[in-house]
Structure 1
């Protein structure tokens, strides 16, 4: 079965190291908590709000784990919605898994926890 694994995080500043570190931390938690292997990944789509301009958050894919070199990843700009969460990076990772939708651990870190308060218990 192919399932979607969601995540989001924020950075304090539009700074390359913060963007890469925050994205890598989010991806690492998604991968670890869901036992995802790189060969099971179909694709990783990463979006960032328009106020993130110093680097591609997808660059984190190449630094957080050596065995993810050939995983297809794409970056795009998130919609600029009035009142939306600033300096936010979102991910949609699709992968083959035996997990049911209810068993999937979606990851929301930093200020992005506000995006899915219904999943709060998962973050404790």
Structure 2
């Protein structure tokens, strides 16, 4: 069965080092909390708020060794008043786990996006 795992992290500024470190942290935490093996990853879609333009978060996934996983980066919709400087992730995973067992991950300031899921 294919499951979707969501996550997000907020960074302090539009800096490649910050974006890549936060993205690595997010991916690592999603994998850890969900017991995901890299071979089970089907694809990952990343979005960034329009104020983040200095690098592609997919680079962080490649840095972690996800070289054969299809990755896509896009800009998030520019909604007035939305939380700034956020990297979002949607991972498609092959798993036998029930959907209710999925642990979505929201880190740093992004916990405000889904306080019901932030833990």
**TM-score, normalising length from structure 2?**
0.96
Aligned to 2:10: 10
SS in 2 for 1:117: coil
Aligned to 1:39: 39
Q: Which runs of 5+ in 2 are unaligned?
A: none
SS in 2 for 1:69: coil
Q: Which runs of 5+ in 1 are unaligned?
A: none
C-alpha distance in structure 2 between counterparts of 1:98 and 1:116, whole Å: 25
C-alpha distance in structure 2 between counterparts of 1:26 and 1:3, whole Å: 17
Extract structure 1 runs of 4+ deviating beyond 3 A: none
C-alpha distance in structure 1 between counterparts of 2:114 and 2:97, whole Å: 20
Please give the root-mean-square deviation of Cα atoms over the aligned residues, in Å.
Answer: 0.9
**TM-score, normalising length from structure 1?**
0.92
- Number of residues paired by the alignment? 119
1 or 2, which has the higher helix percentage?
1
